[in-house]
Chain A
Amino acid sequence: MSKVCSLKEAVASYVKDGDTLYAAGFTHLIPFAAGHEIIRQGRKNLTLARATPDLIYDQMVAAGCARKVIFSYMGNPGVGSLRIVRSELEAGRLEWEEYSHFGMITRLSAGASGLPFLPMKQTGAADLEKANPNIRRVTDPYSGEEVVVVPALNPDVAIVHVQRADRSGNAHIWGILGEQKEAAFAARHVILTAEELVDEDVIRSDPNRSMIPGFIVDAVCEVPFASHPSYTQGYYDRDNAFYLSWDQISESPEAVRAWLDEWVYGVQDRAEYWQKLGAETHERLRVTPNLSSPVNYGAY
C-alpha cells in the first residue's frame, strides 16, 4: 500500500500541538526538513525528545514550537554550547527532563519492545536520579541487588530519515544507526523521509539492510537532502561549517529570527532550501563513492 505523500501533508496529518515528538538520528540522518516544516506549520507546546537536541531542536525552540525538552546531551556537537535551549533552560522558560544517553535509549527500547520499563546496572552517580523522579530503583528478584529503571518512552510521533525506502515505507539504513529503529517502533505514528524512493525490488534485494518495516510507517516522503546540515552516509557530508556558524548566529535573537525568516519561513520546502544553499555548498558536501562488496543471498 502506498503511503507516499508530501512532507507538508505528513506533518499536517500526524503532528499535533502538544505532541511528544522524537526526531531520530544520532548526528547522522537528523530530519531537519521535517523540523523546518513543523516550524512553518506553527506547531506549539511540543515535547521534544532526542538524545542530543542538536541544532534541529535549538531551531524549533527558537521558533516557539516547544514546551519541554527531553535529552541526554545538550551541546552543539563538535562545537560547544547549544545556546538557545541552554538559555531557555537557564531562564526557566523551558521545562526539561534529563537522562544519560544510555538512560534515554533504554527508555526508547522499552517503548519499542512493549515493556513498561527496563533495568540498567547502577553507575554510582546518583545525582541525576535525585533530580529526575522518573529514574528509580527496583530489586532484582533473582540476585536481590538493586538495579536502576527508566520508564518506556512512547512518543506520539517519530520522524526518521533514511537513505532509501519503497512506497510502503520499508526502509534501508546504513551508517550510524543511532536509535532510528527504536524510535520508530516506540512511536504511535512514524513519518519517514527518504533520500530516494525506490522499487520494492531494491529493498527486497537486501533485506538485512532494512531497519524499519513499512507496516509501522504512516507516511513516506521523498525528500532529498532532508538532513542538511546533518548528513546522510554516502549521499552528502555533514556541514561542519554550518554547525560552527550556528554558534555565532545563535548568540543573538535577532540573528536567529533573521535566519529563520530566510531559511525556514522564506522557503517553501527542502528543494527550495537546497537550491538556495548554492553550488559551492553542494560541491563542498559532495561525497566520493565507496561501494561495499556485494553479498550473495542465493536464489532459493
Chain B
Amino acid sequence: MEYNASELMIINAARLLRDGDVVFVGVGQPNLACNLARRTHAPNLLMIYEAGVIGARPARLPLSIGDPTLVSGASLVCSMYDVFTLYLQRGNVDVGFLGGAQIDRYGNINATVIGPYDHPKVRLPGSGGSQEIAAWANRCYIMTPHQKRRFPEKVDFVTSAGFLNGNGERQAAGLRGGGPQAVVTNLGILEPDDSGEMILTALHPGCTLEQAQDNTGWPLKAAPQLRLTEPPTAEELRILRDELDPDRIYLK
C-alpha cells in the first residue's frame, strides 16, 4: 500500500485517540485524525472546536477553524469564553492537538516568533488557543514533519508548555493536564520519558533510528523497546482519501 508522509502521520495520530475521548480539535490534519478515529475505532469521540462548537459532526472538510459545517448538526454552540472556561479550564477536555514551528527536547512548543520577540526574524501566527490547550487538556498530541530545524534543543519562545526544563518542572507549575504525550512524525513517534524528555518510542516501517537522530536537534534517545508501527491499512487510507479529504487539501 503506497502512502505519503501526511497520511502516515494522520493515521498514527488517529490511533492514539480512545473511544469516548473529548477532543479539542484543530483544523487541517488534526481534524482529519479525529474524524478518521470517529469513523474507525472511536465512534463516541466528542469533538470540540475552539470557535465554541461542541459535538461537531462536520459533513464536509472544514477549511477554517470556524467553518459553518461545524455548526450544522452539532450538539451545542457556545461563546469562546465559555469554551475556554467551562470546557477547557474546568478540566472537561481529554485530548488537545498542538502544532508549531519548533518543538524542543522537553516538548515545549514555539508558534510565536523566530529570533528576538521585539525584533522578530520571522513572526509566526502566535498562540491562538494552544497556550491553554497545552496546559489543561489531559493529553496533548503533536503532528509534525521530522526535521532538525523543527526540533531544536530549546525553542526560541515558549508559546505552549511541554515539560518546561524537565525533571518535574511542569508538575511543580501545577498544570492540570499531563502535557505532550506523543509527537507523531513522518519517521516515528516520540514520547516523554520519566524526566519529560522526548525520546523515540516507535519507528514507522522502513525508517531507522539513525534517520530520526540525524533529523533531531538534540541527542535523541531511543526507548529500550523500540516499537514498529503498523503500516496504514487500506481501510484507513480509503476513509481519508475518499470520504474525508477527496480534494487532497491536507493530504498533500
Interface secondary structure of B, over-half rule: loop
Q: A124-B164, A177-B79, A182-B81 are in contact. Are A77 and B65 (CB under 8 A)?
A: yes
A238 within 8 A of B: yes
Q: Which residues of B contact A98 (CB under 8 A)?
A: 112, 126-127
* Docked CA distance A174–B89 (Å): 24
CB neighbors of B among A43-100 (8 A) = 51-52, 71-75, 77-78, 81-82, 86, 89-90, 92, 98-100
* Docked CA distance A56–B27 (Å): 21
Interface string of B86-113 (1 = CB under 8 A from A): 0011000000000000000000100010
Tell me if B173 and A100 are in contact (CB < 8 A). no
Tell me if B134 and A123 are in contact (CB < 8 A). yes
Smallest CB separation, A119 vs chain B (Å)? 10
Q: Which residues of A contact B77 (CB under 8 A)?
A: 174-177
* Docked CA distance A254–B20 (Å): 52
B131 within 8 A of A: yes
B120 within 8 A of A: yes
* Docked CA distance A128–B157 (Å): 8
* Docked CA distance A175–B67 (Å): 10
Which residue of A is nearest B129, CB measured?
A: A101
Tell me if A105 and B125 are in contact (CB < 8 A). no
Smallest CB separation, B141 vs chain A (Å)? 17
Q: A26-B51, A28-B51, A28-B66 are in contact. Are A72 and B128 (CB under 8 A)?
A: yes
CB neighbors of B among A141-194 (8 A) = 145, 174-182
Smallest CB separation, B43 vs chain A (Å)? 24
Q: Which of B53, B121, B125, B128 contacts A176 (CB 8 A)?
A: B53
* Docked CA distance A122–B161 (Å): 11
Smallest CB separation, B201 vs chain A (Å)? 23
Smallest CB separation, B56 vs chain A (Å)? 11
A120 within 8 A of B: yes
Please give the residue numbers on chain B whose beta carbons come within 8 Å of chain A beta carbons, in ascending order.
27-28, 50-53, 63-68, 70-72, 77-81, 84, 88-89, 108, 112, 117-123, 125-132, 134-136, 157-161, 164, 170, 173-176
Q: Known pairs A100-B129, A122-B173. 19 more at Cβ < 8 A?
A: A52-B128, A72-B127, A73-B128, A75-B125, A78-B28, A86-B123, A98-B126, A101-B80, A105-B84, A106-B84, A122-B174, A125-B159, A128-B127, A131-B118, A145-B174, A178-B66, A178-B79, A180-B79, A182-B81
Closest 3 CB pairs of A and B: A27-B66, A124-B161, A73-B128
